[in-house]
Structure formats: structure tokens, C-alpha cells
Structure 1
Amino acid sequence: MDLAFLHPLYEHPGPWASVYVDTSRHTEDTPHERHLTAAALARDLDRQGADEATCRAVRAALDELQHSSEPNGRALFARAGEVVLDPALARPPMRDSALWAPLPHTAPLLELAGEDPVCLVAYVDRKGADLELRSAMGSEDAGSVAGRQWPVHRTSTVDWSERHFQLKVENTWEHNASEIAQALAACQEETRADLLILVGDDRERRSVHERLPKHLGALAVEAPHGTGSRLLDEDVERTREEHVRQRAERELDRFLSAREPDAEGRAGAVEGVPALVEAAREHRIDELLIRPDAPDAHREVWIGEDPDQLAVRRTDLRILGEQHSWPARADDALIRSAVATGAPALSVSSATEREAPVGGLGALLRWT
């Protein structure tokens, strides 16, 4: 996940209100229920010590969602009476929550707004293709491709003239498959879609797949549906979840390989809070890997005013010359450091067969 959009959160000092709210349920009573939720979360922040102006700002922002049709939810990050950032979520949170803490609680975003692959779906037939973009936020039309319209149907006879006609049909199919593949490549480049799903008869899907540029062919999957069918949301979601799982697996493989010391005893990856804190202070984190529910994620560390001022013990910060310090969750502190140095972060909870990194926090390093 590219963390650049979080920069505004670290341009101001804390403490921060961090709120996650589910907007996936839509019934006749939804506006009233959301009004009650807004009041309850504001009270929760007040009990935790949030200032009155920030509680009011959060409640007002949540009240504005009473009639929202957003399919998943919102995160709100507020301080000093102002909501600074309110990203939409790609997945509903497990429960509505509010936290008042020295740092914004951004770690849940890795799962709720992080890996949200956009799919370019192509409904292929012999004459062309209809295109649409699918994401967690819904679908939208992405245009169509019209190939040659004649001839496109085979005959069952075997005389010379009919064989000649069938050859023309084959040429038409090949031409149209190439046209569709070129259009898909252009559309993917424009939309930056993460996945391509080909829908249609077996032969037509395969013909288009074979003609895609090599880099795009690796992103393409074929859906087992007949011509003219439309993919259900569940079909797309399964494909998106598999893409997320495979990416987490690849990054974990990289991590496991890099954490083995080289011939000189240096490793390209670290795990555990002390090693990560040291790497963050030295600006060496190249990619942060987090299991949000693992024990080290909510382990307490100490932070100063700047992102690279963090330590396992408060006395360590004083040794480093930092006069002001506050306790913070390890995952949120490390994400702040990653944002400051331009490093991405990834939730690896979807790689269910792995226990790494130990404790739930790890990083690939920029240099060994």
C-alpha cells in the first residue's frame, strides 16, 4: 500500500481521534442508526479524554454519513476540532470504533483500504468486447471494442468454397482477438487496473489471452462463464481476494529469503520491535509487513515529535536527545516512519499458511 496519502496526518502534532465506521448496511432505519452511532462514538472519544471541539467535529462528520450509500465505510482522523482526513474504505470494519491516542491509528487501513485491486473485465465474443471496471466501490462502463462483423460463423459443409469461407472466418476471429487485446492493453495503461478478467466462450477468451502483451498476460485470468453472461460481484471479489493473497505470499517469500544472512552475516530483512525501531531510526525500511492482530502490532513503544524519534524504552529517547515523548502502538509508530521515508506497507494476514514475520511485524531493508 502506498502511504503517501497519509502525509497530512503527520504534519500536525497529536493527540488524534481515529474513527472507523461501517456504512455497508442500508435499511429504512439506517439514518437513525447512524445518528445513534455518531453520538456513541463521540461519547467514547470524550471518555478517553478527547477535547470537546474534536468530539463535535467527529460527530458532525459522522452525521453527514446518515444518508450515504457508500458500500463499505469510512475512516476519520481528527484533531484540534478538525477532521484532517476521511478516506473511504474498501472493506467494512469488523465493528465501529473510536480511539484517542498520540498518533493516528492508521494500521487498520492496511486491510480496510490497502489492497483494493481494480479489475478490468472484458466480455468477449466473436465480434468484439464490452469493457467495465470493477472495484470495491462498484462498477463503471469502460467502453467497447468492435472488430470485423463478417464473416464470423462457421459452416458444417466440406466443399472447397466452404473451406475457403471457413478460412475467412478464422481470419476474422484472429483479427478481432488482436483488436480486443490491443484495446485492453490501452485501457489498462490508462486506468492502471491491477487485474484483467476475460469472460466468454473458451476459444474466444483464449485467443484474446494469447495476444495480450506479455506484462498484461500475467495479470489476466479467464472466468468460466459463457458468452453474454455478466460477472457477479461474488465472482469478482473471489478473483480480487486471490490476487491479494498471492501478492502477500510473494512478499512473504521475499521477506523469508532476505532475512537469511548472507556470506558476510548481513540480512536484508528484520523482524521484531527492537530491530524494526532501529531500522526506522536509520531510514532503512524499504517495505513494512504487518499482521494487524499479531502481538507485536499493539506493543508499546515511545515516540518523539519527529517520525524517526522512536524507541523501545523512554530512556532511550532521552539518550537520543528527545525531551518530549509519548507512548504509542508499535504498528502506528512504524507506519509514521514509513510515511516519512516513502516506504510502502502491506498487510500479510491473507497469507494464512505462514507465521512470519515473528510477532507480526517485519520489514525488507533498503540496504543490508
Structure 2
Amino acid sequence: MELGFLSPLFQQPGPWASVYLPPATATEDAAKQHELTVRSVCDDLAAQGADRDTCEALRQRLAGARAERAPGVAAFAAGGRVVLDLPLPTAPGRPAAHWAALPHTSPLLELMDDTPPCLIALVDRTGADFRLDAGTGSRPAGSVEGEDWPVHRTASASWSERHFQNSVENTWEQNAAGIARALHEAFTDSGAGAVVLAGDPRERREVYDKLPEEVRAVTVETEHGGRAPGSGTPRLDEEVERARHRLRGRRTEEILDRYRTGLGLHGEQAATVSGVPALVEAAQSHRIAALLISPHGSDLEREVWVGPDPDQLSTRRSDLQYLGETSPSPAPAGDALLRSAAVTGAEVLTVPEVREAPEGGLGALLRGTAPVSAQAR
């Protein structure tokens, strides 16, 4: 999971109100029940010390959440305004409210879809349309137009027609190269992890062959769908979902394999760390490349100390005071490390299987080390 969408939460100081709200029940008194739930979570925040303006901003925002079709909503507020609200693809088990120095983001690990988005390329002989699908429907992600003449062959065998057909071949070749370049750019810009290439067999194969190797490695071709209006099919949607989940599975196994192998290395070659003290030290020096988290790990709630700057985190209050932060605040380790990962661009991998997870539920691959697979050889 990439945490760029959380960046607004780390651009202003707290304290923060964090609310997780399930959908209203489909009953006759749903509106009344939703109103009571919202009032209850806001009262809970006030009892925890939240200021009136922040509680009121959340009350107004959450009052409209009942009309949303998402299974739930998460909202984060500070300084009298709602900074970020997110529709949740998975419903929270119950309403929850937190008032703390940091946004309480660790519940998102179970409630958000961390499967990478997929770039869909719908190609024909003259160009391509790109769409990005992150699991909640697709949205436009650009297009490219090539030459539209000549693009059709003829059946004649005369010299002039053969010359014309060579021109057709050249046009196809140029268009395929242009589409491949545009697809590479769209893939890089969109943050997608996989590509589904749809269209007529010849066109999509020519485009596929011209893609850079790193893009071909995550690209699948499908016979379902195309560029013409109305050519989308349920089978294309299914292919997109399969591509996203295949990539997620491969990425999970890759990172877990590197983590397991790295546990046996020491000193300068050490590529992994586990345990809150070692993770905090790695976060302080921006060395975390991938943070591994099990949502139910005991270390997520272990207390650490934080300041307003993401680099200000420590296992001991006195360490931050020594560095000049006169009023450090306690925070769960999970929230503090997620803040650091979001700010430094580290990848976050949710490990739902307890037997696969690091001990305590927290571990990391480090930057600045050679790939573990290479070291092991």
C-alpha cells in the first residue's frame, strides 16, 4: 500500500480526532439511528478532550455519511476542520473515536484495499485510451492518437497497391510504437502496479512487444473489451481484478521472502529489522523501504513518544526532550511508524496471516542494502 493519500494528515500539527463509522442500518429509523451514532462519537471525542470546533466539524461531515454507498467512512479532523475523509470498502465493526497526538491510521490497514491499481489500455490501429482501476470502478487516465491514414490493407497485388500496403504496415508500426511510449508514461504517472492490454490481437501484440521489459513483466493481454464505445464487458472487469490480485500476491511473497532471508544476516549486510526499538531507529534515519504490519500485532499499540515533526519519534520521552522537543506526546507505535512511512515514501505491506507476520506484528526491509536474493547467492 502506498500512503500518499494520507499526506494531508501530516502537514499540520495535532491533536487529531479520528473517527471510523460503519454504514447506517437499512431500517425505517435509519436516519435517527445514524444521527444518534454521530452524536455518540462526537460526545466520546469531547470526553477525551477534543475541542468544540473540531467536534462540530466532524458532526457536520458525518451527518452526510449515511447517504454514501460505501460500507463505511473514516474521517480525520484537527484545528476545527475535517482534513481528510475516506470511503471505506470494508465496514468497521463498530463506531470508534480517538483523540490523540497523531491520526489513528492503523485501522485503515484492514479496512482499505491495498491491492495495487491496474492500468487498462484499450488499443486499436490508430491509438489507445487508458483507464485506471483501483477496485472501485475505473477512471480516465489519458489517451494517445496516432496516424489514421493509411491503416487498412487492400486485396490487390499491383505494384502501387503493394506500395500502399507497405505504407499501411509502416503506419501500424509507428502507431504501435507511439502507443507503447504513451502506455509506459501513463503507467509511470498513474502509480499502477499492473497493466491489462485489450483490443484486437494484432494491435495489442505489437504494442506489447514494444513495451519496456519492466512494463511487459506486469502486463497481461485479454481478448475481452476494446476501444470502441460500449465494448467493455464483465469479463474485462474480471481480468482486471485477477491482474490486480495476482500482482498483490507476487509482491507479498517477494517482500516476505526477502524479509525471512534477511533475518539471518547481520552487521552491514542486515536488510531487515523487527521489534519497536529497531524500527524506530530505522525510521529516524529514513531507512525503512517497506514496512510490514500485521493489523492485530501486539506491538502496534506499544507506546512510543512523538513530536510534531515526523522525524521526532523515540521509545523514550527523554530522547525527544534531549533533541529539543519540550512536550513530546505518547502514541501507538503503529500510528507513529505509518506517519514516518507516509512521509518518507516507504511501502506498507499488510500481512493478514499471523504465521507469516513478523513477531509482534511489525517488521521492515531497509534501504541502503543490496537485494537479499543477491546477498544470499
Q: TM-score range by the shorter chain?
A: 0.7 to 0.9
| TM-score, normalisation: structure 1 | 0.74
* Unpaired runs of at least 5, structure 2: 370-377
Query: Following TM superposition, by how much is the alpha carbon of 1:165 offset from its aligned partner in structure 2, in angstroms?
Result: 8.8
Question: Is the 8 Å Cα contact of residues 181 and 208 (structure 1) preserved in structure 2?
Answer: yes
Return the match for 1:310 from 293, 307, 314: 314
- Residue number in structure 1 paired with 2:249: 245
- Residue number in structure 1 paired with 2:63: 63
Supply the AA of the counterpart residue of 2:120.
V
Query: Which moved further from structure 2: 137-146 or 209-218?
Result: 137-146
The Cα offsets for residues 56-79 of structure 1, whole Å up to 9 and x where unpaired, read as 22211212445456x575432224
For 1:13-162, list aligned pairs within 5 A: 13-14=14-15, 16-21=16-21, 34-46=34-46, 48=48, 50-68=50-68, 74-79=73-78, 82-83=80-81, 85-89=83-87, 91-95=89-93, 96-110=95-109, 112=111, 115=114, 117-136=116-135, 138-141=137-140, 142-143=142-143, 145-148=145-148, 150=150, 152=152
Return the match for 2:273 from 261, 270, 287: 270
Question: Is the 8 Å Cα contact of residues 38 and 62 (structure 2) preserved in structure 1?
Answer: yes
The Cα offsets for residues 112-131 of structure 1, whole Å up to 9 and x where unpaired, read as 55846443322223454333
SS at match of 1:100: strand
The Cα offsets for residues 239-267 of structure 1, whole Å up to 9 and x where unpaired, read as 333333333333333333333324x5752
In structure 2, relative to structure 1, the CA distance for the partners of 1:177 and 1:11 (3 Å cut) is: closer
Identity %: 37
- Residue number in structure 2 paired with 1:289: 291
Query: Following TM superposition, by how much is the alpha carbon of 1:188 offset from its aligned partner in structure 2, in angstroms?
Result: 3.9
Query: Which moved further from structure 2: 290-299 or 141-150?
Result: 141-150
Query: Following TM superposition, by how much is the alpha carbon of 1:105 offset from its aligned partner in structure 2, in angstroms?
Result: 0.8
- Residue number in structure 2 paired with 1:347: 349
In structure 2, relative to structure 1, the CA distance for the partners of 1:111 and 1:345 (3 Å cut) is: farther
Question: Is the 8 Å Cα contact of residues 44 and 98 (structure 1) preserved in structure 2?
Answer: yes
Question: Is the 8 Å Cα contact of residues 23 and 92 (structure 1) preserved in structure 2?
Answer: no
The separation in 2 between residues aligned to 1:79 and 1:65, in whole angstroms, is: 19
- Residue number in structure 2 paired with 1:363: 364
* Unpaired runs of at least 5, structure 1: none
SS at match of 1:103: coil
Query: Which moved further from structure 2: 45-54 or 245-254?
Result: 45-54
Question: Is the 8 Å Cα contact of residues 195 and 219 (structure 2) preserved in structure 1?
Answer: yes
Question: Is the 8 Å Cα contact of residues 123 and 129 (structure 1) preserved in structure 2?
Answer: yes
Question: Is the 8 Å Cα contact of residues 92 and 111 (structure 2) preserved in structure 1?
Answer: no
The separation in 2 between residues aligned to 1:230 and 1:274, in whole angstroms, is: 51
The separation in 2 between residues aligned to 1:165 and 1:25, in whole angstroms, is: 69
The separation in 2 between residues aligned to 1:63 and 1:283, in whole angstroms, is: 42
SS at match of 1:86: strand
Query: Following TM superposition, by how much is the alpha carbon of 1:106 offset from its aligned partner in structure 2, in angstroms?
Result: 1.4
Supply the AA of the counterpart residue of 1:286.
I
Computed over aligned residues only, the root mean square deviation of the Cα atoms, in angstroms, reads 4.3
| TM-score, normalisation: structure 2 | 0.73
Query: Which moved further from structure 2: 109-118 or 318-327?
Result: 318-327
Aligned residues: 357
